[in-house]
């Protein structure tokens, strides 16, 4: 039986992925601001709105984690893997994620948040 319940894993993983998505959106915003586009505003607004959606979900994740005494720390990493340490209810679990998996999931989430913003318009 796992020490950390399965329903807690998505929240713990959100603490890995969502900050990465925010970082990418912030960098992309800077690129759009400095790029020689004739009409920058639509791109910048899209990225800003996606960032707001990510921040909203990250805030909900923080609240859930605080209520359930959960924490995530980044552990060791190399060219292939990055380790994260999950803490929940006095238990500690080490998980190693393939860096390619991390990148692919962040890219997937980025697409989802951009699509959500488009639907809200």
Tokens in use for 64? 């859930």
Coil, helix or strand at residue 89 = coil
Q: Outline where the chain has alpha helix (H).
A: 9-34, 41-67, 99-120
Tokens of 46: 């899209």
Could you tell me whether strands 70-77 and 91-98 are parallel, antiparallel, or unpaired per DSSP bridges?
unpaired
pLDDT at 8: 92
For residues 102 and 6, the model is more confident at 102
Is residue 88 a contact partner of residue 4, using CB atoms and an 8 Å limit? yes
Give the pLDDT confidence of 38-74 residue by residue, as tens digits. 999 999 999 999 999 999 999 999 999 999 999 999 9
Burial 43-55 (b: 16+ CB within 10 A, else e): bbebbebbbebbe
Among 41, 28, 38, residue whose Cα is nearest residue 110: 28
């Amino acid at each position: 039986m796992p020490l950390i319940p399965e329903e807690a894993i998505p929240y713990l993983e959100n603490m890995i992925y969502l900050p990465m998505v925010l970082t990418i959106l912030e960098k992309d915003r800077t690129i759009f601001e400095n790029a020689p586009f004739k009409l920058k505003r639509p791109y910048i607004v899209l990225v800003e709105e996606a960032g707001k959606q990510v921040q909203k979900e990250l805030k909900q994740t923080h609240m859930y984690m605080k209520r359930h005494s959960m924490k995530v720390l980044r552990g060791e990493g190399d060219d292939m893997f990055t380790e994260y340490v999950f803490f929940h209810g006095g238990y500690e679990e080490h998980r190693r994620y393939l860096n390619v998996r991390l990148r692919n999931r962040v890219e997937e989430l980025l697409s989802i948040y951009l699509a959500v913003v488009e639907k809200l318009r």
